[in-house]
Structure 1
Amino acid sequence: MSKQLPTVGILYPGYSAEDDFPRFESLLDNEIALPVQHTLMNEDAHRLDALLDWGRPETLSAGAAALQTVSPDAVMWACTSGSFAYGWDGAHDQAAQLAESAGVPASSTSLAFVDALRSLRIRKVAIAATYPADVAALFEQFLAAADIEVIRVSSHEIFTAAEVGTLSRERLLDIAQSGDDAFADAILLPDTAFHTAGHLEALETQVGKPVLTANQVTVWQALRLARTSTRRDGLGSLFRA
């Protein structure tokens, strides 16, 4: 009997860039399954009360229950703002509660960013956020709690995930380039609503340093939770580390 393909369920709020995950499956030579389960998004708004609503325990538990049909080896909450909005301790509690609900290891995109930076031994970063400034500041505070120094934060004041999902490759490259800082060792693009799967090498070539995107670190963490090698070519510095 052949071994079952490693499977990590992706809990994704609403609809914007969820098609990045099947793209990542292809880029990973279909060696892992990343089935997407959409979770309840009562309001598509990059605003604190809405973000907290996206990440409620009962919402994630319902998503985990729906994923049981694919028997996942692990679960990722693929929402940066819906995890860092809870703060450092709250994001860990959120992941622990999700793991308990799912019955398998679980993490979130915010926690994946920190693990990825630690893996690369990077301590100084620039944040190039699509979010409004007040939401981007919450991510800065989250990283500070992990002893990561944020050299610069740029914000593009985009209020909905749906709009971020429509942004072009050219806009993606421009946001990364304009958000750079000479003293930052990496640039972070924290929104899982941003399509980045096919553009990781182009991003790093343009800015000349590691660029970590939300969906990239989510998939990297998924591989780790599934105890699968993360070393791959063509997916940026993180996957070459």
Structure 2
Amino acid sequence: MTALGFLYPGHAAEDDYPRIEQTLASDIRLPLVHVPARGGEAGWPGEVLAGEAAEELRLSGAEAVVWASTLGSASGGPDEAVRQADRLAKDAGAPASGTAAAFVNAARELGMTRVSLATPYDEAQTETLAGYLRAAGFDVVRAVAGGPASPAEAAGWDAEAQAKLVREAAEPGPDGVLLACTALRTAAHIPQLEVAAGRPVLTANQVSVWEALRLAERRVREPALGTLFTVLPPVRG
């Protein structure tokens, strides 16, 4: 059995993880530890809370750990994201990453260079994430802010609301659309989103799980989780 651990802020779309676990239908387990959401999804829980959560995941046998917050892992820029991951790795005793880095690695896995961004955030928060992606070397051809929506509001967005957002983001013809926010429930309808966009769509909880699998050096093919889960083997980094 492979256990992959996630620090998840608050309570919104955490049921995506057992859904993904069931979809994979294998020996992969996805334990979550909740940490307080500070300022919505954006807040890093701090060294003490993050350390306690990472320790709990270590005791669960997690072979890789991901800080499952898009803004929380992007708002300080790439250097802060690396610092967060290094701290989590030390506390969890396992390789670690964050959702923002997962988006970067997943987009590179699919050969994307020109991307569009769609979020339930306000314009300033959306631009923060767009800036993170630019710093990672991507051409962000469009950034669509669908919010501001609280995590609870974002968790209530259905497949059609999400599809409308990715269709708008896909209009300039990017290589793919990145649908941000781990408060969005996307695991049940990623192929539907890709049909709406007419190109690969990466979602926050999807890439968080993929990143943990990458860190644990597991190779999984599951088309129900989108184009990302049809590429083998994953890039190791």
Q: TM-score, normalised by structure 2?
A: 0.93
Q: Secondary structure at the match of 2:202?
A: strand
Q: In structure 1, what is the equivalent of residue 86 of structure 2?
A: 96
Is contact 1:124-1:185 (8 Å) kept?
yes
Q: In structure 2, what is the equivalent of residue 33 of structure 1?
A: 29
Structure 2 CA distance for partners of 1:31 and 1:231, relative to 1, 3 Å = same
Q: Secondary structure at the match of 2:199?
A: coil
Q: How does 1:178-193 map to 2 (within 5 A)?
A: 178-193=168-183
Q: How does 1:66-215 map to 2 (within 5 A)?
A: 66-215=56-205
Runs of 4+ in 1 over 3 A off after TM superposition: none
Structure 2 CA distance for partners of 1:25 and 1:90, relative to 1, 3 Å = same
Q: In structure 2, what is the equivalent of residue 56 of structure 1?
A: 46
- Aligned sequence identity (%): 38
160-169 or 225-234: which moved more?
Answer: 225-234
226-235 or 108-117: which moved more?
Answer: 226-235
Q: Secondary structure at the match of 1:188?
A: strand
Structure 2 CA distance for partners of 1:181 and 1:58, relative to 1, 3 Å = farther
Structure 2 CA distance for partners of 1:133 and 1:171, relative to 1, 3 Å = same
CA distance in 2, matches of 1:55, 1:140: 22
Q: Deviations over 1:164-222 (max 9, x none)?
A: 01111211111111222333110110110000001111111122100000011011111
The answer to whether structure 1 residue 12 and structure 2 residue 11 are counterparts is no
Is contact 2:7-2:66 (8 Å) kept?
yes
Structure 2 CA distance for partners of 1:178 and 1:59, relative to 1, 3 Å = same
- 1:37 is aligned with what amino acid? V
Q: TM-score, normalised by structure 1?
A: 0.92
Q: In structure 2, what is the equivalent of residue 22 of structure 1?
A: 18
Instruction: Give how far 1:235 is off.
Output: 1.5
The answer to whether structure 1 residue 216 and structure 2 residue 189 are counterparts is no
CA distance in 2, matches of 1:235, 1:178: 21
CA distance in 2, matches of 1:202, 1:159: 22
Is contact 1:224-1:230 (8 Å) kept?
no
Q: Deviations over 1:70-96 (max 9, x none)?
A: 111111111111000110111111111
Point out where structure 1 has 5 or more consecutive residues left out of the alignment: none
Q: Deviations over 1:152-174 (max 9, x none)?
A: 01101224111101111211111
Q: Secondary structure at the match of 1:54?
A: coil
Is contact 2:65-2:97 (8 Å) kept?
yes
Instruction: Please give the root-mean-square deviation of Cα atoms over the aligned residues, in Å.
Output: 1.4
- 2:47 is aligned with what amino acid? P
CA distance in 2, matches of 1:149, 1:43: 28
CA distance in 2, matches of 1:188, 1:43: 22
